[in-house]
Amino acid sequence: MKHFILPAALILFNSAYAEGPGKKTQTDKTSKNKHIEMQQTQLSDNPLLADWTGLYGGLPPFDKVKVSDFKPAIEAAMAENLSEIDKIAKQTEAPTFANTIAAMERTGQKLQRIITLYGIWGSNLSTPEFQEVETEFEPKLAGLSDQISQNIALFKRIETVYLSPETKKLSAEQQRLCKIHYTNFVRSGAKLDAAKKNRLSEINQELAGFFTKFSQNLLSDESDLILVLNSKDELIGLPQSLIDGASNTAKAKLLDDKWVISNTRSSVDPFLTYSDRRDLREKAWKMFINRGDNGGEHDNNELITKILRLRSERAKLLGFETHAHWRLENTMAKTPQKAIELMESVWPAAIARVKEEVADMQTIADLVDMNIKIEPWDYRYYAEKVRKQRYDLDQNEVKQYFQLDKLREGMFWVAGELFGFSFTPLKNIPVYHPDVNVWEVKDKKTGRHIGLWYFDAYAREGKRSGAWMNAYRDQQRMDKEVTTIVSNNSNFVKGNPGEPVLISWDDASTLFHEFGHALHGLSSNVTYPTLSGTNVVRDYVEFPSQLLEHWLSTSEVLSKFALHYQTGKPIPSSLVERIEKASTFNEGFATTEYLSSALIDMKIHLADASNIDPDKFEKETLDALGMPKELVMRHRTPQFGHVFSGDGYSAGYYSYLWSDVLTADAYEAFVEGKGAYDKEVAQRLIKYVFSVGNTIDPEIGFKSFRGHDAQTDALMRKRGFPVKK
């Protein structure tokens, strides 16, 4: 529910959009030539501009790149992209699939490679120096994207191919590619008049700047604000692994003999779960939920107001009622109303469950002190006490069996059983940080190379919080077989050197989730890059990943890979039974914190955007929804990176629920068959879901796999909510 997927293509929509060169004003010819020569000497040494070389069809040159390389490389590659597009637009031959649509698929490849690395630096290695590059280039890249989608000659060619009767004779994949290019151009304003196109481009560039500022503000509050624990008194209740992590963080900040809780979810959530110090829990909670909302130079509220206003103006320019209507048009849900209907059908069951959960927690709190009334900083703490009391289940007990390395092996094993993949660790592959490891993925039976999987597991300064998947290179076979490179990134807290990293059940789920995205990328078997792997509609992309979460709790994985970190013994079946019994425990909390965020995201993009005060909007909307006061949104508006650090998940956070409807229903196909490892069901899943990318309509893909359209009953069962008859 929490995890981004970061297709590099999203940053630029698609490598294929740009416009003709020759736009730069020609000044003095001599000085221009000189400038070019100078640039060329420098550019020839720029590792970002070189093809990826080495094994596996080339590797990202992480060992050679310096931050100072980005600016000249992006500029050169942008110019090259524009000239490639110009060539297509200006050719005299009549438009055909080959000379227009397929040709566009070949453009911007250099820029795409550079933007991939630029995205990796921005998410994993951010520094003030790199942030300057982002601040400069985000608007420029948005401008480039507009220049391409607003190229009249190019659009005319695409439209001609799309509407041509000849197109009906192409393969299904080619026809879909035509449709997607055409639709993307129209959705980006290709049919607008010149004045409106200009305004649209201004808006996009301004938005790009605001998105960057939003993320940078958030990163500042996450890295600058900390909770310092000064004495052993302040550690009461914390498990040793958390204390060790906090001590290491303190040392890194040169605070000897102290402990530091960072302002990130992976540090704050466990602190809120275990700290017996109610006063400190309140402090930690307030620090975390006020990220981006602290006044001063890193406050995000004003930015949000501006973003919403610009998004609304853009939607109207493009002929849509609101930003949400524009965003939803090319999703499975299709309309905001449909998404809201789904969310509101689950909401009452979720908040009713919260009431029960709070009552259970209050009973326990009353035994300690009749004056305690459950507050949001108490929820995780008392929920843990209820979990212990009711299910005899202690998350710390579970954690002792959840070693990161072993669970990773467990994921590999699942991928072997279901997808027929094998994973071999590789040495001497360039990485951007020593913590990153690389594996080769092969077909288990034939030994055929499938792709590479990079894994960057640990939190560090300059890395954004959360977990995500990224495709460094998409699978395709337009001209030759190109294999994929994918990565999973997470923020586990490193323990002491040499000791295994123990992770919670939730973190293990997230690990499997992101690996699901990776498998989606690795399974891709398509011809054109635009349609490859995870390049599918937003409310479908979380389906493969959420589906994979289900395999964590299979007895096969638990008995083989959930091994005690000291004794090496597998997790006892009695503990597994207790985990199963507690599987829908605290689902009121989880669903409500998620859904409140998803509803706010949708409603704020449907509201009159002329002057929204985010804090006020959030409060009033939550009141109207009957949000229980004992918890908060998973992502409050000023820190809602999914929604305000880019357009990707805006009016799109509902996607996780939408996808989970598909997920729950799809998993029941295994249950109805021979179980989680039913090879025949797995084959169908790969055939219609994991391998097809965006080459078929997701609704058809799902139905072909499942035999019926997705139904919500399975979701309600999965979450332990009553199923409406």
Name the residues annotated as catalytic.
Answer: 514
Return the sign of the alpha-carbon dihedral for residues 507, 509, 510, 515: positive
Q: How far is the CB of 238 from Zn ion (least distance, A)?
A: 30
Residue 97 vs 515, nearer CB to Zn ion: 515
Nearest to 475 by CA among 695, 322, 275: 695
Tell me which amino acid residue 294 is: N
Q: How far is the CB of 517 from Zn ion (least distance, A)?
A: 6
Q: How far is the CB of 542 from Zn ion (least distance, A)?
A: 5
Nearest to 575 by CA among 420, 725, 398: 398
In whole angstroms, what is the distance from residue 627 CA to residue 621 CA?
A: 9
Which DSSP string corresponds to 360-381? HHHHHHHHH-TT----GGGHHH
Q: How far is the CB of 655 from Zn ion (least distance, A)?
A: 9
Residue 259 vs 492, nearer CB to Zn ion: 492
Which DSSP string corresponds to 659-689? HHHHHHHHHHHHHHTT-TT-HHHHHHHIIII
In whole angstroms, what is the distance from residue 306 CA to residue 323 CA?
A: 13
Q: Are 185 and 148 in contact (CB under 8 A)?
A: no
What 3 state SS string does 574-609 have? HHHHHHHHCCCCCHHHHHHHHHHHHHHHHHHCCCCC
Q: How far is the CB of 4 from Zn ion (least distance, A)?
A: 7
Return the range that interacts with Zn ion (CB under 5 A); candidates 86-94, 260-268, 337-345, 535-543. 535-543
Q: Are 225 and 285 in contact (CB under 8 A)?
A: no
Q: How far is the CB of 2 from Zn ion (least distance, A)?
A: 8
Residue 197 vs 538, nearer CB to Zn ion: 538
Using only the alpha carbons of the chain, give its radius of gyration. Answer: 26
Q: How far is the CB of 670 from Zn ion (least distance, A)?
A: 20
Residue 81 vs 545, nearer CB to Zn ion: 545
Return the range that interacts with Zn ion (CB under 5 A); candidates 5-13, 319-327, 490-498, 624-632. 5-13
Query: Which residues in 273-309 are b (16+ Cβ under 10 Å) and which e?
Result: bbbebbebbebbbebbbbbbbbeeebbbbebbbbbbe
**Binding mask 136-165 vs Zn ion (x if CB under 5 A, - otherwise)?**
------------------------------
Q: How far is the CB of 643 from Zn ion (least distance, A)?
A: 15
Nearest to 328 by CA among 693, 602, 680, 545: 602
Residue 247 vs 545, nearer CB to Zn ion: 545
Residue 490 vs 545, nearer CB to Zn ion: 545
659 binds Zn ion (CB under 5 A): no
Residue 14 vs 489, nearer CB to Zn ion: 489
Q: Are 357 and 588 in contact (CB under 8 A)?
A: yes
In whole angstroms, what is the distance from residue 512 CA to residue 672 CA?
A: 22
Tell me which amino acid residue 14 is: N
Residue 488 vs 553, nearer CB to Zn ion: 488
**Binding mask 537-576 vs Zn ion (x if CB under 5 A, - otherwise)?**
-----x--x-------------------------------
Question: How far from the centroid of its chain's Cα atoms is residue 694's Cα?
Answer: 18
In sequence order, what are the residues at sequence separation of 6 or more whose Cβ sits closer than 8 angstroms to the Cβ of residue 185?
A: 149, 155, 158
In sequence order, what are the residues at sequence separation of 6 or more whose Cβ sits closer than 8 angstroms to the Cβ of residue 98?
A: none
Query: Which of 1, 2, 3, 665 is in the footprint of Zn ion by CB under 5 A?
Result: 3
Angle at 472 between CA 471 and CA 478, to 5 degrees: 90
Q: How far is the CB of 123 from Zn ion (least distance, A)?
A: 15
Q: Are 47 and 69 in contact (CB under 8 A)?
A: yes
CA distances 620 to 288, 350, 661, Å, are: 21, 19, 29
Return the range that interacts with Zn ion (CB under 5 A); candidates 73-81, 218-226, 298-306, 536-544. 536-544
Binding footprint of Zn ion, residue count (CB under 5 A): 4
Residue with tokens 């965020």: 597
**DSSP SS3 for 170:** coil
Q: How far is the CB of 656 from Zn ion (least distance, A)?
A: 7
Q: How far is the CB of 594 from Zn ion (least distance, A)?
A: 13
In whole angstroms, what is the distance from residue 670 CA to residue 386 CA?
A: 32
Residue 542 vs 647, nearer CB to Zn ion: 542
If you ran DSSP here, which 8-state letter would residue 432 be given? S
Residue 3 vs 636, nearer CB to Zn ion: 3
Residue 474 vs 542, nearer CB to Zn ion: 542
Q: Are 540 and 659 in contact (CB under 8 A)?
A: yes
In whole angstroms, what is the distance from residue 356 CA to residue 379 CA?
A: 12
Q: How far is the CB of 516 from Zn ion (least distance, A)?
A: 8
In whole angstroms, what is the distance from residue 4 CA to residue 471 CA?
A: 12
Residue 545 vs 592, nearer CB to Zn ion: 545
Burial classification of residue 539, based on how many CB atoms lie within 10 Å of its CB (0-12 exposed, 13-18 middle, 19 or more buried): buried
Q: Would you tell me which residues interact with Zn ion (CB under 5 A)?
A: 3, 5, 542, 545
